[in-house]
Chains A and B, each alone.
Chain A
Amino acid sequence: MDTFLQVLAFGVLRAGLYALTSVGLALAVGVVGIVNFAHGEFLMLGAFLGYWLFVLYHVDPLVALPASAVALGGLGAVTYHVAIRRVLQAAPLNQTLLTFGLSIALQNLAVVLWTGDNRAAPIPYAHLSVALGSVRVGLPQAVVSALAALLTVALYLVLDRTRTGKAMQAVAQDRLGASLVGIEVDDAYRLAFALSAGLAGMAGTLLVMQFAVSPYMGLSFTLRSFAILVVAGLGNVRGVLPASVVLGLAEAFVEYYLPGGTGWSEAVFFVLIFAVLVARPQGLFR
């Protein structure tokens, strides 16, 4: 029973992080209508920002979060302005390929700048853990997941309670209708894309507390975010939280209960994508 609870706790903690990585992508898909393959690369850049700030200036990743949000948000706005805006009316194939090209370019730019090595930041409290009854969890994992879930909920509140958030929802529902009632569609798109990149950057910076960073780390998060989006229903921002829990728990249980599970857990997202796409393409939570 204790092991079961332990595995359950790991799964839930992982879900928090997954929610933060994928909610930004859900926003880009839902509002701008762009499936951004470079999302994981924004996360990777956020991770490198956190890593270098820690290694060079001893800035704690938690303190670096606002810097990461501003830097990646800015990069997102620039990316929107230079590239994404030009393909809004283009065929979906072209949109996908454009972001795919961006993803490859950013990833390999990081390889050119920082080599392909894995780099782990020597965070002093990385190995501390806390006990909750019979379950023990790592302190960084717990903090990261709590913050990630908090940021995800904060995004929901922004979307529901503020004028800007409502404007984004309006644009998502009907571009023409929104522009007729005086919403600047282009501004809403730029803001949504910047927010999306900023959230990915923050997720990346938080990751520095748990994982080594490398230029290639983005893809596995892009893939997992796709899996979560597919489970939630493409563009459904609100379904991201429950879908993240599904993926986090499934991975944790496969890792523990399947023989040789650690290697296979990477394949869990594929089974989820495949099963959901074939059986219920509109998503489980819609």
Chain B
Amino acid sequence: MRDRRLWLDVALGGLFVAGAFGFGVWAEEANPYRLAQARTVLLYAVLALSWDLLARTGQLSLAHAAFHGLGAYTSVLVVRATGLEPALGVVLGGLASAAVAIPLGWVTLRLHGIYFAIATLAFSEVLRIAANQIAWAGGATGLVTVPLFGGRTVLQYLFLLGVLAALMALSRALQASRWAYAFAAVRTNEAVARALGVPVVGCKVAAFAVSAFFAGLSGATYAHAFLFINPLESFHLGISVAALVAPIFGGLYSTAGPVLGAVLLRGGEDLLRERLGAGYPLLYGLILAAAILFLPRGLVGACQGWSLRRPLARPAGRAARRAVAEGTEEA
């Protein structure tokens, strides 16, 4: 059973990546505006899926804005100072975020639930204040920078698609490995996890570092795609919010959920901006609250529940349905 689901996921993921690839090649000539929009969608899909990696250990992070901004600032500052190729700067941005995440996580990941959320929220607000105050980092005015891949949107898009594909593969591989059980144990009961020999803090720090690496990568790519960064936008709390709303809406602790959530929410955002102007995150807030109240397992979870409830064509169907009704099978 497990194997078949693995292949199904690989096929679905491959289909998604192939479709997105085809769209990019087609849109370069036919619809550059949609291509630029799709690039933003991919930026957020990377943020959302990387956020979910840490969430799987039960930690609610509001530091994604911090890692996004750190990646952006590192890359822009290094490229400005040394004239390095922006593509290398982007990788450096990701590494810098991961390097900051390790000591930060080592100290703060011992905190639980709300304490960790507050600490990470405070951390990203302080980075924003610091970037605002430090003159060589551009201060409140911000910095301009050079474009990634000579400013060819389609190459930037394909690069992000590659990053997302790698992250999806990593996420799916983690789910198929022993780590998935370790993460789930840490999430549900830390004391039990520790008693079973799971290195609790180590697990969390590793997840935090990988999560931060991809957030930094996304932030640095954003900087070299939009060519301008400032403290308010690079460290905006809205980035952390978008990174967590997408997985919750799409389905937590899964590979498809965060990507699906990001595509639906970001894709629909331009429509919202036209209708609601600057107040468009209103809908993000409502979706977040409604998802918690009515859709606690997200779209993916709701679809799984629905497909399990449908009568199956095979003889095993009745037994499976009864098992689900009695709640004996883990959905």
Contacts and interface: CB of A to CB of B under 8 A. Distances in A.
Interface of A: 35, 83, 86-87, 90, 92-94, 96-98, 100-112, 115-116, 219, 223, 226-227, 230, 234, 260, 263-264, 266-267, 269-270, 273-274, 277-278, 281
A260 B140 CA distance: 14
Among A104, A111, A264, A266, which residue has the most Cβ atoms of chain B within 10 A?
A104
A158 B117 CA distance: 32
B223 to A, nearest CB: 23
Interface in B180-219: none
A3 B73 CA distance: 39
A5 B114 CA distance: 37
B84 to A, nearest CB: 30
Nearest to B113: A92
Nearest to A263: B133
A135 to B, nearest CB: 29
B60 A96 contact: yes
Contact of A109 (B60, B117, B279, B288): B279
A-B pairs with the 7 shortest C-beta distances? Answer: A105-B285, A101-B288, A104-B285, A101-B289, A111-B279, A112-B279, A108-B282
A227 to B, nearest CB: 8
A24 to B, nearest CB: 17
Contact of A101 (B107, B115, B133, B286): B286
Given A86-B293, A116-B278, A278-B107, 10 more contacts: A83-B289, A90-B292, A90-B296, A92-B114, A94-B296, A98-B289, A108-B282, A226-B121, A267-B126, A267-B130
B52 interface: no
Nearest to B245: A101
15 contacts: A97-B244, A101-B284, A101-B287, A101-B289, A101-B292, A103-B285, A104-B241, A105-B284, A110-B279, A112-B277, A223-B122, A267-B126, A273-B119, A277-B108, A277-B118
Q: How would you classify the secondary structure of chain A's contact residues: helix, strand, loop or mixed?
A: helix
Nearest to A272: B122
Contacts of A35: 114, 118
Given A103-B285, A219-B237, A277-B119, A270 B126 contact: yes
A26 to B, nearest CB: 13
Contacts of A97: 60, 244, 248, 288, 292
Contact of B284 (A104, A111, A281): A104
